[in-house]
Chain A
Amino acid sequence: MAGLIFSPQARGQFAAIALVRWRLFVNSLRTIRGRLELVSRGFMFMGFGTLGLGGSFAMGAGAWYFVAHDRVEMLAVLLWPVLLFWQLFPVMASAFTENVDSSNLLRFPLTFPSYFLIRIAYGSLDPATAVASLWLLGMAIGIGLASPAYLVLALPILLLFAVFNILLSQMIYTWVERWLARRRSREILGVVFLLVMISFQFVSPLVRRYGPTAAPVLSRVTAQTLPFERLLPPGLAAASLARALHGQYPLALGAFALECAYALAVLWLLNLRLRAQYLGENLSEAVARRAKPAGKQKVQLGWNIEGVPGSVSAVVEKELRYLSRSGPMLFTLVMPLVILLIFRFTPGKSDRPGGIFAHSADLAFPVGAAYALLMLTNLVYNSFGPDAAGIQFFFASPVRFREILLGKNLAAAFVLAAEVALVWLGTCLMYRPPPWDVVLATVTGVFFVLLVNLIAGNFLSVFTPKKIDFGTFGRQRASNTTAFASLGIQAAVVGLCSVALLAARAYHHIWVAAVVFVMLAAGAMVAYFLVLDRMDAIVLKRREAMITELCKA
Chain B
Amino acid sequence: METAAIATAPAIATEHLTRRFGDLVAVQDVNLRVAPGQFFGFLGPNGAGKSTTIKMLTGLLAATSGRMEILGVDLGQNSVEVKRQIGVVPEGMALFGRLTGAEYLNFVGRMYGLDRVTAAKRTGELLDFMQLVDQPKTLVTDYSHGMQKKLALAAAVIHGPKILFLDEPFEGVDAIASNTLKAMLQSMIARGATIFLTSHVLEIVERLCSHVAIIHRGQLVAQGSLEELRAGVQAQAAAAALTASGAPGVPVTSPGEKLTLEEIFLRVVGGTRRADQELSWLG
Which residues of chain A have a CB within 8 Å of any CB of chain B? 183, 285-287, 289-293, 296-302, 304, 310-311, 313-315, 317-318, 321-322, 325-326, 386-393, 395-400, 470-471, 540, 543-544, 547, 551
| Nearest CB in chain B: distance from A186 CB, A | 11
In the complex with contacts A310-B113, A313-B110, A395-B60 CB distance below 8 A: yes
27 cross-chain CB contacts under 8 A: A287-B142, A289-B134, A291-B134, A293-B133, A296-B133, A299-B120, A299-B124, A300-B120, A301-B119, A301-B120, A302-B110, A302-B119, A302-B120, A310-B116, A311-B113, A313-B110, A315-B111, A317-B107, A318-B103, A322-B98, A387-B96, A390-B96, A390-B97, A391-B94, A392-B90, A396-B60, A396-B94
Q: Which of B99, B120, B127, B142 is A322 in contact with, Cβ under 8 Å?
A: B99
B163 within 8 A of A: no
Q: Which of A286, A296, A318, A551 is B92 in contact with, Cβ under 8 Å?
A: A551
Chain A residues, Cβ within 8 Å of B62:
540, 543-544
Chain B residues, Cβ within 8 Å of A298:
124
| Nearest CB in chain A: distance from B234 CB, A | 39
Q: How far is the CA of A399 from the CA of B97 in the complex (A)?
A: 20
In the complex with contacts A287-B138, A299-B106, A317-B107, A393-B94 CB distance below 8 A: yes
Across the two chains, which residue of chain B brings its CB closest to A294?
Answer: B133
Contact code string B53-75 (vs A, CB < 8 Å = 1, else 0): 00000111110000000000000
Q: How far is the CA of A391 from the CA of B88 in the complex (A)?
A: 13
Across the two chains, which residue of chain B brings its CB closest to A400?
Answer: B80
**Are B107 and A318 in contact (CB-based, < 8 A)?**
yes
**Are A390 and B95 in contact (CB-based, < 8 A)?**
yes
| Nearest CB in chain B: distance from A255 CB, A | 50
| Nearest CB in chain A: distance from B280 CB, A | 21
Q: A310-B110, A310-B113 are in contact. List 16 more A-B contacts (CB 8 A).
A: A293-B136, A297-B136, A300-B120, A302-B109, A304-B116, A313-B110, A318-B107, A321-B98, A390-B94, A390-B97, A392-B92, A393-B94, A395-B60, A397-B108, A470-B98, A471-B98
Q: Which of B106, B125, B133 is A292 in contact with, Cβ under 8 Å?
A: B133
| Nearest CB in chain A: distance from B24 CB, A | 14
B144 within 8 A of A: yes
Chain A residues, Cβ within 8 Å of B144:
286
Chain B residues, Cβ within 8 Å of A300:
102, 106, 120
Chain A residues, Cβ within 8 Å of B81:
398
| Nearest CB in chain B: distance from A185 CB, A | 13
Q: How far is the CA of A292 from the CA of B103 in the complex (A)?
A: 19
Q: How far is the CA of A387 from the CA of B111 in the complex (A)?
A: 15
B83 within 8 A of A: yes
B117 within 8 A of A: yes
Chain B residues, Cβ within 8 Å of A311:
110-111, 113
Chain A residues, Cβ within 8 Å of B133:
292-293, 296-297
B227 within 8 A of A: no
**Which residues of B15-62 are within 8 A (CB) of A?**
58-62
**Are B111 and A286 in contact (CB-based, < 8 A)?**
no
Q: How far is the CA of A326 from the CA of B61 in the complex (A)?
A: 31
Chain A residues, Cβ within 8 Å of B134:
289-293
Q: Which of A183, A315, A321, A390 is B142 in contact with, Cβ under 8 Å?
A: A183
Number of A-B residue pairs at CB separation under 8 A = 139
Q: How far is the CA of A386 from the CA of B95 in the complex (A)?
A: 11
Chain A residues, Cβ within 8 Å of B58:
396
Q: How far is the CA of A392 from the CA of B136 in the complex (A)?
A: 24
Chain A residues, Cβ within 8 Å of B59:
395-396
**Are B110 and A183 in contact (CB-based, < 8 A)?**
no
**Are B60 and A547 in contact (CB-based, < 8 A)?**
yes
B128 within 8 A of A: yes
Q: How far is the CA of A315 from the CA of B84 in the complex (A)?
A: 17
Q: How far is the CA of A278 from the CA of B266 in the complex (A)?
A: 41
Q: How far is the CA of A127 from the CA of B106 in the complex (A)?
A: 45
Q: Which of B90, B92, B107 is A314 in contact with, Cβ under 8 Å?
A: B107
**Are B98 and A301 in contact (CB-based, < 8 A)?**
no
| Nearest CB in chain A: distance from B269 CB, A | 27
Contact code string B141-182 (vs A, CB < 8 Å = 1, else 0): 110100000000001000000000000000000000000000
**Are B106 and A302 in contact (CB-based, < 8 A)?**
yes
B123 within 8 A of A: yes
Q: How far is the CA of A321 from the CA of B98 in the complex (A)?
A: 8
| Nearest CB in chain A: distance from B204 CB, A | 23
Chain B residues, Cβ within 8 Å of A314:
106-107, 110-111
**Are B107 and A302 in contact (CB-based, < 8 A)?**
yes
The listed residue with most B CB atoms (<10 A of its CB), out of A293, A388, A471, is A388
Q: How far is the CA of A551 from the CA of B94 in the complex (A)?
A: 9
Chain A residues, Cβ within 8 Å of B103:
318, 321
Chain B residues, Cβ within 8 Å of A396:
58-60, 83, 86, 88, 90, 94
In the complex with contacts A285-B141, A290-B135, A317-B107, A393-B96 CB distance below 8 A: yes
B229 within 8 A of A: no
Chain B residues, Cβ within 8 Å of A296:
124-125, 127-128, 133
Chain A residues, Cβ within 8 Å of B60:
392, 395-396, 543, 547
Chain B residues, Cβ within 8 Å of A297:
102, 124, 127-128, 133, 136
Chain B residues, Cβ within 8 Å of A326:
98
In the complex with contacts A183-B142, A540-B62, A544-B62, A398-B80 CB distance below 8 A: yes
**Are A299 and B102 in contact (CB-based, < 8 A)?**
yes
Q: How far is the CA of A314 from the CA of B127 in the complex (A)?
A: 19
Chain A residues, Cβ within 8 Å of B112:
397-398
Chain B residues, Cβ within 8 Å of A471:
98
Q: How far is the CA of A286 from the CA of B139 in the complex (A)?
A: 10
Chain B residues, Cβ within 8 Å of A392:
60, 88, 90, 92, 94
| Nearest CB in chain B: distance from A287 CB, A | 5
Give 9 closest A-B pairs by Cβ, nearest first: A314-B110, A392-B94, A398-B83, A389-B92, A393-B94, A292-B134, A390-B96, A396-B88, A398-B84
Chain A residues, Cβ within 8 Å of B228:
none
B264 within 8 A of A: no
Q: How far is the CA of A107 from the CA of B134 in the complex (A)?
A: 36
Q: How far is the CA of A382 from the CA of B175 in the complex (A)?
A: 39
Across the two chains, which residue of chain B brings its CB closest to A550?
Answer: B92
| Nearest CB in chain B: distance from A80 CB, A | 40
Q: How far is the CA of A297 from the CA of B130 in the complex (A)?
A: 12
Chain B residues, Cβ within 8 Å of A395:
59-60
B115 within 8 A of A: yes
**Are B98 and A386 in contact (CB-based, < 8 A)?**
yes
